[in-house]
Amino acid sequence: MGEVALRKLQAAIEVTRGTDLAATRKVYATGHIEKNIDLIAPAEDRGTFISNYRSTLGVVTSSLPLEGGVSYEDLAWWFQLALKGGVAGVVRGVTAYDYTFVPTPGTDDLKSATFEWGDDTQAFQSNYCMVDTMEITGALNSYWTFSVGIIGTDMSTTTFTGALGDRTVEDVNTYLTKFAIGAAGAVPSSYITGRFIGFKLSINNHLARKYFADGVAPTLGGIGRGKREFTLEVTFEGNAATVTERGVWEAGTNRVARITATGSAIAGSTGPVLRTVDIVFPGKWSAFAVGERDTNTIFTATMRNEYDSALAYDLSAVVTNGLVTLP
C-alpha cells in the first residue's frame, strides 16, 4: 500500500566504510533516501532542434536528509558520525557512562553507516553514509531538535532487518539547558541567568565524494574531507550584561562558550548521576545582530570556532547516559 504512516528508518555503524551491515537499531527521525543519476549526453550539431539523440548513465549518488528530536541516548550515536568515531563510554557512578567527543585534528576517524528506509511496500538501503552537516537547535517551549545532511553511495532495494525493538530515550529539554561564557583557555562554570533564550550549533565536515576511471561502471571510490567548520548562534535578552558581551565582540576577544543540559537521574547510579549533554565551544564572536522578541530587544550572536591551545581542542562534547554501548 505504500503507507506514509508505516515508514521507518534503521541503521548500523559500519566496521569498514562502504561494507554493508544489517541494521542494529531503529533511527528515531523523519526523512527518506534520495537517489540521483546523472545522464551523460554529447553535444552535437545535426541541423535540427533536437537536443539529445543518445545518452548513457553516469554517476549515481544518494543522500539522506533527516530531522528529529535530540535524546540523551541517541545523540552520542549521531556524534560518532558527525564529530568523532570509535568513542566508548567511560563508566561513572556504577551505571552511568560518559561519551566524550573531541574531534581529532589530523585523522579522519568519522564513522560511516548503512541506512535502511522504506514503508510497508518496499525497503531501500544506502551504505557508506556519512554526516556532512548537522545542526542542533534549542528553542524555548521545545526539546532540542537536530537535522543532518547525509551523503551515501546508492539507493538499492532491500528487506528490512527484523527483530529490532524500540528503545527508551529521554528528550533534551531546552528549559533544562543553561549557558556559560568566559575567557579563553578555561571551561566556564558560571552560568548566566535571565538572558539565555536559545541556540543553534552547526557542524560542517565538508565531505566530498571521489570517483575514478577504473574500467568499470562509475562507483564511489571514497569520501574526502575538507577543513571542518563549527558555528554557534546564541540568542540573548538585550540587558546590560549582553551589551557588555557585545563589547567583547567589538574588541575581537577570544571566548569559550558552554551549553549544558541535564535530564533525569540514571537508574542505579550513585549520586545519582544525571543524564547530561555538555558542549564546550572555544572561538570568537563574528556577529552580534540586534532583533526583538515581543516587547524586548534581543541579540543573536554568532561564534566561529577557533582552536584553543590551552584546552587543546576546537570543540568538546560529553554525553552522559545509561548505555554501556551504542547499538
What whole-number percentage of the chain has pLDDT above 70? Answer: 100
Across the strands, what pairs with 257? Answer: 181, 281
* Residue ranges covered by each domain of the chain: 7-39+56-161+168-321
Average pLDDT over residues 166-191: 98
pLDDT value of position 213 = 86
Sign of CA dihedral 48, 50, 53, 57: positive
Strands (E) located in 49-103: 56-69, 90-92, 96-101
pLDDT value of position 193 = 96
Average pLDDT over residues 302-306: 98
> Closest Cα to residue 109, out of 136, 135, 130?
130
Cell 548503512 -> residue = 114
Mean pLDDT of the chain, nearest integer:
96
Sign of CA dihedral 148, 150, 155, 157: negative
pLDDT value of position 284 = 98
The predicted-structure confidence for 223-279, as pLDDT tens digits, reads as follows 999 999 999 999 999 999 999 999 999 999 999 999 999 999 999 999 999 999 999
What whole-number percentage of the chain has pLDDT above 90? Answer: 93
- Entry pTM: 0.95
CB 148 within 8 Å of CB 131: yes
Of all helices (H) and strands (E), which one includes residue 284? strand 274-293
The predicted-structure confidence for 186-235, as pLDDT tens digits, reads as follows 999 999 999 999 999 999 999 999 988 888 877 788 899 999 999 999 99
Residues 171 and 112: their CA atoms lie apart, in Å, by 24
Residue 128 neighbours by CB distance under 10 Å: 22
Residue 190 neighbours by CB distance under 10 Å: 9
Which parts of the chain fold into alpha helices (H)? 72-82, 240-251
Residues 246 and 238: their CA atoms lie apart, in Å, by 10
The predicted-structure confidence for 90-139, as pLDDT tens digits, reads as follows 999 999 999 999 999 999 999 999 999 999 999 999 999 999 999 999 99
Across the strands, what pairs with 259? Answer: 179, 279
Convert 33-46 to b/e letters by CB count within 10 Å (16 or more is b): beeeeeeeeeeeee
Amino acid making up residue 238: G
Residues 54 and 309: their CA atoms lie apart, in Å, by 58
Average pLDDT over residues 284-295: 97
Average pLDDT over residues 27-31: 98
Q: Is the pLDDT of residue 305 over 90?
A: yes
Cell 542505579 -> residue = 268
Bin 233: left if φ > 0, else alpha if -120 < ψ < 50, else beta.
Answer: beta
